[in-house]
Amino acid sequence: MTHIIPPLSGEEIERKSFEIIDQEAGDHGFDELTWPVVRRMVHASADFSILPLLVFRYNPIQNGIRALRRGAPIVTDSTMLKSGLSVVRLKGIHPAYAKGNIFCNIADREVARQAGEAGLSRSVFNMRSLKEHITGGIVCIGNAPTALLEVCRLVREEGARPALLIAMPVGFVNVIESKAEAKLLPVPTILMEGRRGGTTFAVAALNAIAILTLQSESP
């Protein structure tokens, strides 16, 4: 006998998914503001093993909400991450996001030229080229540890101060080291420790903060 699974709406699927996540996560230890961000990261990956890897420093969600409300620039380390952000939601928060206030220069010719001449990754020069948007902005890194290391340098040496840093690069070279550097910064940060990370997690975290911003009342 063939079993026919009845179709569900997107809203029903999300609601049921969150119910399952809440049940399976059990006593997770995250507070009522942090858990919706973590839960959406689990929802995006079906991966509960990330729970002990997540670090929240200097009230990053509150600071992220305030930054989005004022239309702060968003800087990403990859075009994939930029494409994954919900522009519809962001436009609902602030009109600046309808005017392209999300930045990634990784494919820019000048960035490629500078990287080639210096013998360094384009991710480094992508962040350097966007320095003016980093202070007061949201920096979202889900790919390149070299991008995170450059942001750390800009904070330490040039006084850059992001309103929120999402630090989730992935890989094997300088990944753990870049995250260790980021944990020392006096900057609101959401960080995934270890080699784990990736665009999926970084996008889910920032989209979750956007949802919280839309759901919360303005001060």
- The residues annotated as belonging to the active site are 43
The encoded tokens of residue 199 equal: 């665009």
Tell me the DSSP string of 65-97. Answer: HHHHHTT--EEES-HHHHHHS-HHHHHHH-GGG
Sign of CA dihedral 115, 119, 122, 125: negative
Structural domain containing residue 191: 55-214
Q: Is residue 1 part of a domain?
A: no
Can you give the pLDDT at residue 191?
Answer: 97
Q: Is residue 142 part of a domain?
A: yes
The encoded tokens of residue 72 equal: 């702060």
Can you give the pLDDT at residue 218?
Answer: 56
Can you give the pLDDT at residue 157?
Answer: 97
Q: Is residue 29 part of a domain?
A: no
Q: Is residue 34 part of a domain?
A: no
Can you give the pLDDT at residue 131?
Answer: 95
Q: Is residue 149 part of a domain?
A: yes
Q: Is residue 25 part of a domain?
A: no
Q: What is the CATH number of the domain that holds 69?
A: 3.40.50.10230
The encoded tokens of residue 146 equal: 């070299």
Can you give the pLDDT at residue 7?
Answer: 79
Q: Is residue 46 part of a domain?
A: no
Residues of the chain below pLDDT 50: 219
Can you give the pLDDT at residue 213?
Answer: 97
**Count of domains in the chain?**
1
Alpha-carbon distance of 147 to 162, in angstroms, equals 14
pTM of the entire structure? 0.93
Q: Is residue 173 part of a domain?
A: yes
Q: Residue 147 — φ and ψ, nearest 5°?
A: -65, -45
